Amino acid sequence: MRQLPLTQMEEGRSGIVVEIMGGIGALRRLELLGVRVGRKITKISGMFMRGPVTVQVDHTQVGIGFGMASKVIVEVKE
Amino acid sequence: MRKILLMGNPNVGKSVVFSRLTGVYVIVSNYPGTTVEFRKGHMKLGKEQVEIIDVPGAYTLEPTCKAEEVAVEMLKETRPGDIVINIVDATNLERNLYLTLELMERETPVIVALNLWDETKHKGITIDVPGLERWLKVPVVPTVAVTGEGIKELVDRFPEARTPKIRKHTRLERWEDIGKIVKEVQTLVHHHHTFLERLQDLSVKPASGLPIAALVIYLAFKTIRFIGEGLIGYVCEPIFEFFTPFLMKLSVLLGSSGFLHDILIGKLIDGEIDFVQSFGLLTTGLFVPFGMVLPYIISFYLILSVLEDFGYLPRLAVLVDNIMHHMGLHGYAIIPTLLGLGCGVPGIMATRILESWRERFIAATLIAIALPCAALQAMIIGILGKYGSGPIATVYGTLFAVWFLLGLILNRFVSGFSPELLIEIPPYRLPPLRTLLKKVWMRVLGFLRDAVPIVLLGVLIVNILYILGVFDSIAAFTAPVITGLLGLPKEAIVAVLVGFLRKDVAVGMLVPLNLTVKQLIVGCVVLSMFFPCIATYIVLIKEVGWKGMLAATGIMILATILVGSLLNLLL
């Protein structure tokens, strides 16, 4: 098991959200879209040059800006 | 009158339910934030007339954006007897239940519609509806709003709407409860990825998504042009040609000149009616809206609606997020931008989906200055088309450069902050053809109702002012800028002034001036950038305030004169 920010996760990998750093505002907005601690998310894509990350949570896809995505810490299996 | 509020997360189909209940059509699309303001309609419940309100989408009652603030305000205004229909996306039960639980803590009775019920089947989701009812203690009705399934049962059960009035929970408690509920009432079975789902993923991966985006945009432009030209060549022009002999008879009847003749028919060019140049109410006044602009309005909105309803736009937002950040915006600003290419009014209204004032100001200013509306584009293509694609490309290229550079500049100098992209990306959906055509028709109808009278009014006013000789003195006054800097004949000021009313008429007025290609290019760019039409202007004031409007106007005047003079020098 290792923990890493969503931005560094590989495309196609899944992991469990273990921490969302940053302010309560961003935290709440992410939660409301399904990205919250304890949930399994799958990274669909990450745009190059610090572009947004797209993840799949259950049956929704969510586009997350790079800065915010770098604050979402995910635990993945080795 | 009792009120019924339609509330729910963005993009769950509230507006579709609204249309079903009231019979009032509202624009619906497949992206969160189509409805940025509330709409009211009425329906009969037995003998009672009730008011139905389509509330903008909200994820929570503790607002995180402007649309949610509106939603909370509307909920606060409810009185005893009013009810809330909480529309829930059955394919995203967990996330949607957060708002449901918040609603249960309030006073207003609630009934839940489990919408998009048909999609749960393809996605391998089973929901135990009676089980969910027991948990929530309010009626739960599965619905498929687009087909009307379940709507009747929903209406029948309105009287059962209840207030569970549970105590106020904390955020974490709510999520904990939701976890329990979902675990108990929802079962998921694995399902194979469909073609659309694979396409969804490919559209946001950079390696495949960027080529797809380039292809989509290229095809969109090509198809818009193809349909537009086709309608003009095979439908509109033949109709006008058919009526020409009648108009010529009328012209002779009116004595081929004089006050009434000039107003109705206009000036004869070499003894003939010229639909673009004559400038009478019955000639140019009808030809501009119906013969030149309408075909492009139809084709533009057809293509835009396909992209909207299919669900492509949020994916495009992800792809362009990077570039938009340099302009102080994030990717989602692409939606108001694309709407602005149709008409500035809905474009600027849609900037409400952006979170901060700074973003809304930048996006709205860019739409007002650098984005030509569909009517204007139709005219640009109409009058420049005969010189090949070079001049058209120059106009579009210049405007695109202005849009991008102005964005870079505004990003440097406008204070405030621009938040990051965070959007829900809906699944691809194949829109039923009827829904699609209805949407195009409603938008075309909007053009006929709002634009055509103003075109006619514009032509009438111009004729009267010409006859009164008002323009001569204005032209003399503005000549230093118009002729000196922009290299246009001094009479071109009339077109600029008419641009306040309608941009399409304004471009049409360049034709009788017998301009060179270079002058036409400068004229088209100046007319596109300088002062949006009055309708757009009013919306601009509404959305960014007087201060914002004045700032935008200053930037607009400077930018237009600068770009116009540069083109005049360089071309």
User: pLDDT (tens digit, 9 = 90+) per residue, B369-397?
Assistant: 999 999 999 999 999 999 999 999 999 99
Confidence of residue B149 (pLDDT cuts 50, 70, 90): very high
Measured between alpha carbons, how far is B227 from B297 in angstroms, rounded to an integer? Answer: 10
Domain contains B152 = yes
B209 interfacial to chain A (CB closer than 8 Å): yes
The answer to whether the pTM exceeds 0.95 is no
Task: State the alpha helices, DSSP H only, in B312-432.
Answer: 313-326, 334-340, 344-349, 357-370, 374-384, 389-413
The CATH number that applies at residue B129 is 3.40.50.300
| Mean predicted confidence (pLDDT) in B5-9 | 97
The domain ranges of chain A are 2-72
The boundaries of the domain holding residue B133 are 3-188
pLDDT reading at B191 higher than 90: no
Bigger pLDDT: B442 vs B418: B442
Domain contains B198 = no
**pLDDT in the model for residue A13:** 95
The structure tokens listed for B178 are: 């939701």
Domain contains B394 = yes
Taking the CA of residue B115 and the nearest CA in chain A, the distance in Å comes to 15
Domain contains B227 = yes
Confidence of residue B19 (pLDDT cuts 50, 70, 90): very high
**pLDDT in the model for residue B41:** 94
- Please, what is the Cα angle at B554 between B538 and B337, to 5 degrees? 55
Cβ B175 vs Cβ A34: under 8 Å: no
Q: How many domains does chain B have?
A: 2
Same domain flag for B13 and B127: yes
**pLDDT in the model for residue B101:** 97
Q: Kindly give the pairing relationship between strand A14-20 and strand A40-46.
A: antiparallel
Closest CA to B132 of B173, B99, B100, B85: B100
Closest CA to B488 of B457, B516, B455: B516
Do the chains contact at B175 and A54, CB–CB below 8 Å?
Answer: no
Measured between alpha carbons, how far is B59 from B68 in angstroms, rounded to an integer? Answer: 8
Task: State the alpha helices, DSSP H only, in B4-87.
Answer: 14-22, 66-76
> Which one of A44, A49, A62 has the shortest CB-CB distance to B322?
A49
User: pLDDT (tens digit, 9 = 90+) per residue, B28-61?
Assistant: 888 888 877 788 999 999 899 999 999 999 999 9
Measured between alpha carbons, how far is A72 from A17 in angstroms, rounded to an integer? Answer: 7
Q: Which residues in chain B are contacts of A20 at CB distance < 8 A? A: none
Domain boundary at B144, B159, B188, which?
A: B188
> Which DSSP state fits B427?
P
Residue burial B178-205, b: 16+ Cβ < 10 Å; e: rest:
beebbeebbeeeeeeeeeebebbbbbbb
Same domain flag for B372 and B307: yes
User: pLDDT (tens digit, 9 = 90+) per residue, B66-118?
Assistant: 788 889 999 999 999 999 999 999 999 999 999 999 999 999 999 999 999 99
Q: What is the CATH number of domain A2-72?
A: 2.30.30.90
User: pLDDT (tens digit, 9 = 90+) per residue, B233-270?
Assistant: 999 999 999 999 999 999 999 988 889 999 999 999 88
Cβ B155 vs Cβ B45: under 8 Å: yes
* 3-state SS, residue B218: helix
User: In whole angstroms, what separates CA B520 from the centre of its chain?
Assistant: 28
B205 interfacial to chain A (CB closer than 8 Å): yes
Q: Which residues in chain B are contacts of A54 at CB distance < 8 A? A: 204, 318, 425
**In whole numbers, what is the pLDDT of chain A averaged over residues?**
93
Confidence of residue A46 (pLDDT cuts 50, 70, 90): very high
